Amino acid sequence: MNLEVACVLGASRGIGLAFVKKLVEKPEVKIVFAMARTVEQIDYSHPKLVKIYLDAANEESFFQAKEQMQKSADHIDLLINCIGFLHENEVLPERKIDEVNTENFVHSLKINVLPSIFMLKAFKDMLRESEAPVIASLSAKVGSIGDNRMGGWYSYRISKTALNMALKTAAIEFQRMKSSSRFFLLHPGTTKTKLSEPFLKFAKSKYKIHDPEDTAKNLLNLINRNLDQKEEPILFLSWDGERLSW
Protein backbone atom coordinates (compact mmCIF):
# COMPACT_ATOMS: atom_id res chain seq x y z
CA MET A 1 0.00 0.00 0.00
CA ASN A 2 1.23 3.48 -0.85
CA LEU A 3 0.94 4.88 2.66
CA GLU A 4 2.15 8.35 3.41
CA VAL A 5 -0.96 9.91 4.93
CA ALA A 6 -3.46 8.01 7.11
CA CYS A 7 -6.63 9.19 8.82
CA VAL A 8 -8.38 7.27 11.62
CA LEU A 9 -11.88 8.11 12.88
CA GLY A 10 -12.83 6.93 16.38
CA ALA A 11 -9.21 7.29 17.46
CA SER A 12 -9.97 7.98 21.13
CA ARG A 13 -9.70 4.39 22.34
CA GLY A 14 -10.08 0.70 21.49
CA ILE A 15 -9.28 -0.46 17.97
CA GLY A 16 -9.08 3.09 16.55
CA LEU A 17 -6.34 4.14 18.97
CA ALA A 18 -4.49 0.86 18.32
CA PHE A 19 -4.54 1.64 14.56
CA VAL A 20 -3.07 5.08 15.24
CA LYS A 21 -0.23 3.59 17.30
CA LYS A 22 0.55 0.94 14.65
CA LEU A 23 0.45 3.44 11.78
CA VAL A 24 2.83 6.01 13.30
CA GLU A 25 5.39 3.21 13.75
CA LYS A 26 5.51 2.53 10.01
CA PRO A 27 8.53 4.23 8.39
CA GLU A 28 6.65 5.03 5.16
CA VAL A 29 3.90 6.88 7.06
CA LYS A 30 4.57 10.61 7.33
CA ILE A 31 1.39 11.79 9.06
CA VAL A 32 -1.54 10.22 10.92
CA PHE A 33 -4.69 12.23 11.55
CA ALA A 34 -6.47 10.95 14.67
CA MET A 35 -10.09 12.11 14.82
CA ALA A 36 -12.43 11.92 17.80
CA ARG A 37 -15.06 13.93 19.67
CA THR A 38 -12.97 13.43 22.82
CA VAL A 39 -9.71 14.38 21.13
CA GLU A 40 -8.31 15.99 24.28
CA GLN A 41 -8.57 12.61 25.99
CA ILE A 42 -6.26 10.84 23.54
CA ASP A 43 -3.50 10.05 25.98
CA TYR A 44 -0.85 9.48 23.33
CA SER A 45 1.54 11.69 21.41
CA HIS A 46 3.94 11.18 18.52
CA PRO A 47 5.63 13.63 16.12
CA LYS A 48 3.68 12.11 13.19
CA LEU A 49 0.34 12.39 14.99
CA VAL A 50 -2.14 15.22 14.41
CA LYS A 51 -5.24 15.13 16.62
CA ILE A 52 -8.39 16.60 15.11
CA TYR A 53 -11.75 17.23 16.76
CA LEU A 54 -14.65 15.49 15.02
CA ASP A 55 -18.28 15.43 16.11
CA ALA A 56 -19.31 12.30 14.21
CA ALA A 57 -23.01 13.11 14.59
CA ASN A 58 -22.63 16.47 12.82
CA GLU A 59 -22.07 16.60 9.06
CA GLU A 60 -20.53 20.09 9.17
CA SER A 61 -17.85 18.85 11.58
CA PHE A 62 -16.43 16.60 8.82
CA PHE A 63 -15.84 19.61 6.57
CA GLN A 64 -14.19 21.48 9.45
CA ALA A 65 -11.97 18.42 10.07
CA LYS A 66 -11.00 18.43 6.39
CA GLU A 67 -9.89 22.06 6.65
CA GLN A 68 -7.72 21.09 9.62
CA MET A 69 -6.13 18.21 7.66
CA GLN A 70 -5.43 20.42 4.67
CA LYS A 71 -3.09 22.53 6.82
CA SER A 72 -0.64 19.58 6.74
CA ALA A 73 -1.59 17.32 3.79
CA ASP A 74 -3.23 17.50 0.37
CA HIS A 75 -4.24 13.84 0.18
CA ILE A 76 -5.26 10.75 2.21
CA ASP A 77 -3.90 7.30 1.31
CA LEU A 78 -5.66 5.31 4.04
CA LEU A 79 -8.96 6.28 5.67
CA ILE A 80 -10.27 4.01 8.46
CA ASN A 81 -13.50 4.53 10.37
CA CYS A 82 -13.52 2.80 13.79
CA ILE A 83 -16.49 4.65 15.30
CA GLY A 84 -19.11 2.29 16.66
CA PHE A 85 -22.00 2.21 19.11
CA LEU A 86 -23.43 -0.93 20.73
CA HIS A 87 -24.37 0.02 24.30
CA GLU A 88 -24.25 2.97 26.66
CA ASN A 89 -25.16 3.23 30.37
CA GLU A 90 -28.34 1.20 30.80
CA VAL A 91 -28.96 0.85 27.03
CA LEU A 92 -27.99 -2.71 26.04
CA PRO A 93 -28.50 -4.48 22.69
CA GLU A 94 -32.03 -5.83 22.33
CA ARG A 95 -32.55 -9.55 23.05
CA LYS A 96 -36.09 -9.52 21.65
CA ILE A 97 -38.35 -7.38 19.47
CA ASP A 98 -40.20 -5.93 22.50
CA GLU A 99 -37.02 -4.11 23.47
CA VAL A 100 -36.61 -2.20 20.19
CA ASN A 101 -37.26 1.52 20.54
CA THR A 102 -36.99 4.47 18.16
CA GLU A 103 -34.35 6.36 20.11
CA ASN A 104 -31.82 3.54 20.30
CA PHE A 105 -32.50 2.43 16.72
CA VAL A 106 -32.04 5.92 15.28
CA HIS A 107 -28.94 6.55 17.42
CA SER A 108 -27.39 3.29 16.13
CA LEU A 109 -27.95 4.34 12.54
CA LYS A 110 -26.62 7.82 13.24
CA ILE A 111 -23.38 6.60 14.80
CA ASN A 112 -22.78 3.34 12.91
CA VAL A 113 -23.74 4.41 9.38
CA LEU A 114 -23.66 8.17 8.78
CA PRO A 115 -20.00 8.85 9.73
CA SER A 116 -18.81 6.49 6.97
CA ILE A 117 -20.95 8.40 4.46
CA PHE A 118 -19.97 11.86 5.68
CA MET A 119 -16.24 11.05 5.76
CA LEU A 120 -16.44 10.13 2.06
CA LYS A 121 -18.57 13.15 1.22
CA ALA A 122 -16.24 15.56 3.02
CA PHE A 123 -12.84 13.98 2.26
CA LYS A 124 -13.39 12.78 -1.33
CA ASP A 125 -11.15 15.43 -2.90
CA MET A 126 -8.28 14.44 -0.61
CA LEU A 127 -8.84 10.74 -1.43
CA ARG A 128 -8.83 11.55 -5.13
CA GLU A 129 -5.39 13.15 -4.73
CA SER A 130 -3.94 9.83 -3.50
CA GLU A 131 -2.38 7.48 -6.06
CA ALA A 132 -4.45 4.54 -4.77
CA PRO A 133 -6.69 5.45 -1.81
CA VAL A 134 -7.77 2.72 0.61
CA ILE A 135 -11.00 3.17 2.53
CA ALA A 136 -12.08 0.87 5.37
CA SER A 137 -14.91 0.87 7.87
CA LEU A 138 -15.14 -1.44 10.83
CA SER A 139 -18.28 -3.46 10.32
CA ALA A 140 -19.24 -6.64 12.22
CA LYS A 141 -20.09 -10.23 11.37
CA VAL A 142 -23.47 -9.69 13.04
CA GLY A 143 -24.27 -7.31 10.16
CA SER A 144 -24.19 -10.26 7.74
CA ILE A 145 -27.73 -11.28 6.75
CA GLY A 146 -26.49 -14.68 5.54
CA ASP A 147 -24.67 -15.39 8.80
CA ASN A 148 -27.52 -14.36 11.14
CA ARG A 149 -28.29 -17.53 13.10
CA MET A 150 -28.82 -16.18 16.62
CA GLY A 151 -31.16 -13.19 16.13
CA GLY A 152 -31.25 -10.36 18.68
CA TRP A 153 -29.22 -7.11 18.70
CA TYR A 154 -31.70 -5.51 16.25
CA SER A 155 -30.38 -1.95 16.21
CA TYR A 156 -26.68 -2.85 16.04
CA ARG A 157 -27.16 -5.64 13.47
CA ILE A 158 -29.37 -3.54 11.22
CA SER A 159 -27.04 -0.54 11.45
CA LYS A 160 -24.02 -2.66 10.44
CA THR A 161 -26.01 -4.16 7.52
CA ALA A 162 -26.92 -0.62 6.47
CA LEU A 163 -23.28 0.42 6.79
CA ASN A 164 -22.31 -2.42 4.46
CA MET A 165 -24.82 -1.25 1.85
CA ALA A 166 -23.72 2.37 2.26
CA LEU A 167 -20.06 1.55 1.69
CA LYS A 168 -20.74 -0.81 -1.20
CA THR A 169 -22.77 1.91 -2.89
CA ALA A 170 -19.99 4.45 -2.32
CA ALA A 171 -17.35 1.98 -3.55
CA ILE A 172 -19.18 1.67 -6.88
CA GLU A 173 -19.38 5.46 -7.21
CA PHE A 174 -15.73 5.97 -6.22
CA GLN A 175 -14.50 3.35 -8.68
CA ARG A 176 -16.00 5.40 -11.49
CA MET A 177 -14.28 8.50 -10.15
CA LYS A 178 -10.96 6.87 -9.16
CA SER A 179 -10.47 3.32 -10.43
CA SER A 180 -7.46 2.69 -8.16
CA SER A 181 -9.54 3.15 -4.98
CA ARG A 182 -10.01 0.06 -2.78
CA PHE A 183 -12.80 -0.39 -0.21
CA PHE A 184 -13.03 -2.77 2.76
CA LEU A 185 -15.63 -3.64 5.39
CA LEU A 186 -13.80 -5.37 8.21
CA HIS A 187 -14.99 -7.63 11.02
CA PRO A 188 -12.26 -7.19 13.63
CA GLY A 189 -13.01 -10.37 15.61
CA THR A 190 -13.98 -10.16 19.27
CA THR A 191 -11.63 -7.55 20.69
CA LYS A 192 -11.23 -6.48 24.30
CA THR A 193 -12.59 -2.92 24.30
CA LYS A 194 -15.28 -0.90 26.05
CA LEU A 195 -17.73 -1.91 23.30
CA SER A 196 -17.30 -5.66 23.84
CA GLU A 197 -16.67 -5.54 27.60
CA PRO A 198 -20.18 -6.59 28.84
CA PHE A 199 -20.17 -9.62 26.51
CA LEU A 200 -16.64 -10.97 26.96
CA LYS A 201 -17.57 -13.53 29.62
CA PHE A 202 -19.96 -15.23 27.18
CA ALA A 203 -17.73 -14.65 24.14
CA LYS A 204 -14.69 -16.23 25.83
CA SER A 205 -16.25 -19.70 25.60
CA LYS A 206 -17.00 -19.29 21.86
CA TYR A 207 -14.44 -17.03 20.22
CA LYS A 208 -10.80 -16.05 20.32
CA ILE A 209 -10.46 -12.76 22.20
CA HIS A 210 -7.97 -10.27 20.77
CA ASP A 211 -6.21 -7.27 22.24
CA PRO A 212 -6.82 -4.07 20.21
CA GLU A 213 -3.13 -4.03 19.18
CA ASP A 214 -3.42 -7.55 17.65
CA THR A 215 -6.62 -6.54 15.89
CA ALA A 216 -5.06 -3.41 14.35
CA LYS A 217 -2.08 -5.47 13.17
CA ASN A 218 -4.32 -8.24 11.79
CA LEU A 219 -6.52 -5.79 9.92
CA LEU A 220 -3.64 -3.82 8.37
CA ASN A 221 -2.13 -7.12 7.16
CA LEU A 222 -5.53 -8.21 5.88
CA ILE A 223 -5.91 -5.01 3.85
CA ASN A 224 -2.41 -5.41 2.41
CA ARG A 225 -3.04 -9.03 1.41
CA ASN A 226 -6.25 -8.10 -0.40
CA LEU A 227 -5.24 -4.96 -2.28
CA ASP A 228 -4.86 -6.88 -5.53
CA GLN A 229 -8.34 -8.46 -5.39
CA LYS A 230 -10.02 -6.15 -7.84
CA GLU A 231 -12.89 -8.31 -9.08
CA GLU A 232 -15.30 -6.70 -6.57
CA PRO A 233 -15.70 -3.00 -5.73
CA ILE A 234 -15.51 -3.80 -2.01
CA LEU A 235 -14.64 -6.79 0.20
CA PHE A 236 -16.47 -7.74 3.43
CA LEU A 237 -13.80 -9.63 5.33
CA SER A 238 -13.31 -11.21 8.72
CA TRP A 239 -10.03 -10.62 10.58
CA ASP A 240 -8.91 -14.19 9.72
CA GLY A 241 -9.30 -13.60 5.98
CA GLU A 242 -12.72 -15.26 5.56
CA ARG A 243 -14.96 -13.57 2.99
CA LEU A 244 -18.21 -12.88 4.83
CA SER A 245 -21.63 -13.39 3.34
CA TRP A 246 -23.54 -10.13 2.78
Ligand X SMILES: NC(=O)c1ccc[n+]([C@@H]2O[C@H](COP(=O)([O-])OP(=O)(O)OC[C@H]3O[C@@H](n4cnc5c(N)ncnc54)[C@H](OP(=O)(O)O)[C@@H]3O)[C@@H](O)[C@H]2O)c1
Tell me the closest approach of the beta carbon of residue 235 to ligand X, in angstroms.
Answer: 16
Tell me the closest approach of the beta carbon of residue 11 to ligand X, in angstroms.
Answer: 6
Cα–Cα distance, 198 to 176 (Å, whole number)? 42
Q: Which is nearer to ligand X, 180 or 245 (CB)?
A: 245
CA distances from 48 to 6, 51, 160, 192 (A): 10, 10, 32, 26
Q: Which is nearer to ligand X, 130 or 235 (CB)?
A: 235
Does residue 83 interact with ligand X by CB under 6 A? yes
Judged by CB under 6 A, which of 33, 62, 85, 184 binds ligand X? 85
Q: Within its chain, how far is the Cα of 128 from the centroid?
A: 19
Cα–Cα distance, 148 to 192 (Å, whole number)? 22
Does residue 56 interact with ligand X by CB under 6 A? yes
Contact between residue 128 and residue 77 where contact means Cβ atoms under 8 Å apart: no
Residue 57 backbone phi and psi in degrees, to 5:
-90, 5
Does residue 1 interact with ligand X by CB under 6 A? no
Tell me the closest approach of the beta carbon of residue 37 to ligand X, in angstroms.
Answer: 5
Which residue, 189, 145, 135, 138, is CA-closest to 163?
Answer: 138
Judged by CB under 6 A, which of 23, 32, 79, 84 binds ligand X? 84
Site string for ligand X, 117-146 (x = CB under 6 A): ---------------------x-x------
Which residues of this protein are in contact with ligand X, per CB under 6 A? 10, 12-16, 36-38, 56-57, 82-85, 111, 138, 140, 187-188, 190-191, 193-196
